[in-house]
Copies of this chain bind each other. A is one copy, B any other.
Amino acid sequence: MTGELNALGAAEIARRIGSKQTTAVEVMSACLARVKAREETVGAFIHLDEDKALAAAEAADKAPAGGLLHGVPFAIKDIIDTADFPTGWGSPIYHGYQPPRNASCVELLMRQGAIPVGKTVSTEFAYFQPGKTANPHNPGHTPGGSSSGSAAAVADGMVPLAFGSQTAGSMIRPAAFCGVLGYKASHGGFDLQGVMGLSASLDTLGLMAREVEDLVLARAAMCGAGPAVHPAFANSAPRIGLVRGPDWSNGSAEMRDVCERAMARLAEQGAETSEIGDLSIFSNLEKSQKVVMAFETARARIFEFEHYRGQLSHHFIALMEDGLALSRRAYEEALGVRDQAQQGLSALFQEADVLLTPSAPGEAPEGLSATGDPLYNRPWTLLQVPCVSVPFGAGPRGLPLSVQLIGQMGDDDRLLAAADWVHQCLRGE
């Protein structure tokens, strides 16, 4: 039995612990056993403390249950402050640095009984320079980034739930490459105290999980939303609009194929499907996201650029230099492009409950020296809307494929409800 507990979802773990079918210690032991067996290959964690995690699980078993996530193990991307583990931001500059407090998101899960297992690998400052993590489906391939370790740990059954973050494509891309659910909240939907920031207009917290109900439960712990999947699509299928987008032809054939097969499958299952024909609002979004990200990052991380340039990767130095060279006018124009597209976008949601679009260019690329291209994520992050990556089958090299669902700004509850419906339809292929 213990051997399977690590494969359960967070909600199921909480239910079983609540009804005394299992204990927090049994669950934690199963997760730690999986880590022990696989970590040398996967490299999901930058800091792990088995004794601390087990001690917390023992304490949870002695305490009265009641929290939404009582006894549920979770992992934390290493750009998120933790009082009990060092927080290195994926950079040698802060390697081993110990913050004095937990980020709000960490504390909010712990307050509901969840137990932190450790810190997962982030790329350097959640940008492009990769850490040690490999794709658990094939360790010769990237897990994506920047939330590399969180995606890999959840995909590999090490933990049921993990925090990540997205400024360009750092949640959805690794979720797609690793074949797990990745959820980037609406911008501003989750508090960011204690989370390293690059670009205040873009930075958003997110969660990796294997079940949509787990995302909903964690969301409830974070911002007081309902603890069960919203019943919007309990009795009727969602209306789904395909957005091929301006970069449709720049991805792989398997990417296009998985989107089209998903649309067909969902229509078979009763979804009202359509295609968004007018893509004019999406022009220039990827470019504008790059401008906003560079301009804002160049301010946000100026301390490291001024004092520790020798310890920054060439990727990060180039981003800073680009941002410092940009004019304020170029930045304001990029924000203007966003504002206009946001207005255009709301009209699309009169015809569709959610949009379906590529998560990533295809299967995870070979090699660990790069994390893939976030081109299918930048536009949506700029638009600040909530996104969920839903796995669907595998590509020609046997690696996971995925589709991305987009919801209306602030309407994360309905997006997650639709994602649950879609996930049930697509799973098992």
Q: Which of B100, B196, B223 contacts A97 (CB 8 A)?
A: B100
* A299 near B104: Cβ-Cβ < 8 Å: yes
Give the interface segment out of A27-35, A69-77, A169-177, A300-308: A300-308
Q: Does A283 contact B (CB under 8 A)?
A: no
A252: chain B residues within 8 A (beta carbon): none
A260: chain B residues within 8 A (beta carbon): none
A326: chain B residues within 8 A (beta carbon): 224
* A300 near B191: Cβ-Cβ < 8 Å: yes
A351-372 Cβ-contact flags toward B at 8 Å (1 or 0): 0000000000000000000000
A107: chain B residues within 8 A (beta carbon): 302-303, 306
Give complex CA distance A302, B100 in Å: 14
* A301 near B104: Cβ-Cβ < 8 Å: yes
| In the complex, residue of chain B having the shortest beta-carbon distance to the beta carbon of A302 | B107
| In the complex, residue of chain B having the shortest beta-carbon distance to the beta carbon of A328 | B224
A327: chain B residues within 8 A (beta carbon): 224
Q: Does A192 contact B (CB under 8 A)?
A: yes
The copy count of this chain in the complex is 2
Give complex CA distance A35, B172 in Å: 53
A222: chain B residues within 8 A (beta carbon): 299
* B188 near A331: Cβ-Cβ < 8 Å: no
A166-205 Cβ-contact flags toward B at 8 Å (1 or 0): 0000000000000000000000100111101100110000
* A residues 279-336 touching B (CB-CB < 8 Å): 295-296, 299-304, 306-307, 326-328, 331-332
A132: chain B residues within 8 A (beta carbon): none
Count of chain A residues with a beta carbon within 8 Å of a chain B beta carbon: 41
| In the complex, residue of chain B having the shortest beta-carbon distance to the beta carbon of A332 | B410
* A224 near B303: Cβ-Cβ < 8 Å: no
Give complex CA distance A101, B111 in Å: 29
Q: Does A83 contact B (CB under 8 A)?
A: yes
Give complex CA distance A188, B292 in Å: 13
* A101 near B304: Cβ-Cβ < 8 Å: yes
* A303 near B225: Cβ-Cβ < 8 Å: no
Give complex CA distance A76, B381 in Å: 33
Q: Does A108 contact B (CB under 8 A)?
A: yes
Interface residues of A, Cβ cutoff 8 Å to B: 83, 94, 97, 100-104, 107-108, 110-111, 188, 191-194, 196-197, 200-201, 222-225, 295-296, 299-304, 306-307, 326-328, 331-332, 410
A-B contact pairs, 24 of them (CB 8 A): A83-B303, A94-B100, A97-B100, A102-B303, A103-B303, A104-B299, A104-B300, A104-B301, A107-B303, A107-B306, A111-B306, A188-B200, A191-B200, A191-B296, A192-B197, A192-B200, A193-B196, A193-B197, A194-B303, A223-B299, A223-B328, A224-B327, A224-B331, A332-B410
